[in-house]
Copies of this chain bind each other. A is one copy, B any other.
Amino acid sequence: MPQGRPLTVPADGLSTRARRNAPLLAVHTGPGKGKSTAAFGMALRAWNQGFDIAVFQFVKSAKWKVGEEAAFRELGRLHERDGVGGPVEWHKMGSGWSWSRKSGSADDHAAAAADGWAEIARRLAEQRHDFYVLDEFTYPLKWGWVDVDEVVATLGDRPGNQHVVITGRDAPQALLDAADLVTEMTKVKHPMDVGRKGQKGIEW
């Protein structure tokens, strides 16, 4: 069971309170399941504390993660109506970013990914949200659509107390180096290996 005891006390000149409130950069990578799911679980906890949540899905198809999206939209409505939890925004590259005038620019994935990151960088500078999920953001980094060094620099310079969780396989080393928390999900056994298909309530 988890123990909240730090192994060492860092010589960073920060008070315990300042260190406690340091914004977190987490990366969930590896070939196993649960990378995005764990990120949304973290967002659920953050929502419960009243954090302002923003999810950015860097995926081709808007069909993925419909279950999570619907549940978080309900949570966002619950916040608006009853004041519990925090506000929720959910943005998808697959169906064209909601803020972008170029509707459904799905033909140029590289441009859409760069547009998504540019908007996130703007929001980080403005301290617009408390908790960001950059879902499957490692792929545009891997494919060179978004510059890793610029991402690492922007994340390193982000003001205030904004938490960021990035998911996806093959996270670049520079991103892992910059992260505070890195978890690798390893596939040990998967039902699709033995011919089972995805199913409602489990896969979506």
Give me the interface of A with B, judged by CB distance under 8 Å: 1-2, 4-10, 12, 16, 19-22, 24, 28, 30, 32-34, 36-42, 44-51, 59-61, 64, 66-68, 70-71, 74-75, 78, 84-85, 130-131, 136, 139, 163, 176, 179-204
User: Which residues from B are CB-within-8-Å of A198?
Assistant: 4, 20
User: Which residues from B are CB-within-8-Å of A30?
Assistant: 186
Q: Can you name the residue of chain B whose Cβ is closest to the Cβ of A2?
A: B64
User: Which residues from B are CB-within-8-Å of A10?
Assistant: 194-196
Quick check: B34 and A136 within 8 Å, CB to CB? no
Quick check: B44 and A136 within 8 Å, CB to CB? no
* A28 interface neighbour in B34, B61, B195, B199, Cβ under 8 Å: B34
Quick check: B197 and A16 within 8 Å, CB to CB? yes
User: Which residues from B are CB-within-8-Å of A193?
Assistant: 6-8
Quick check: A196 and B19 within 8 Å, CB to CB? yes
Quick check: A202 and B45 within 8 Å, CB to CB? yes
- List the number of copies, as a whole number: 2
- In the bound assembly, the distance between CA atoms of A78 and B67 in angstroms comes to 16
A21, A47, A176, A184: residue with the most chain B Cβ atoms closer than 10 Å: A184
User: Which residues from B are CB-within-8-Å of A40?
Assistant: 41, 44
Quick check: A19 and B71 within 8 Å, CB to CB? no
Quick check: B199 and A21 within 8 Å, CB to CB? yes
Quick check: B22 and A196 within 8 Å, CB to CB? yes
User: Which residues from B are CB-within-8-Å of A64?
Assistant: 1-2
Quick check: A189 and B204 within 8 Å, CB to CB? no
A1, A50, A203: residue with the most chain B Cβ atoms closer than 10 Å: A1
User: Which residues from B are CB-within-8-Å of A196?
Assistant: 6, 10, 19-20, 22, 180
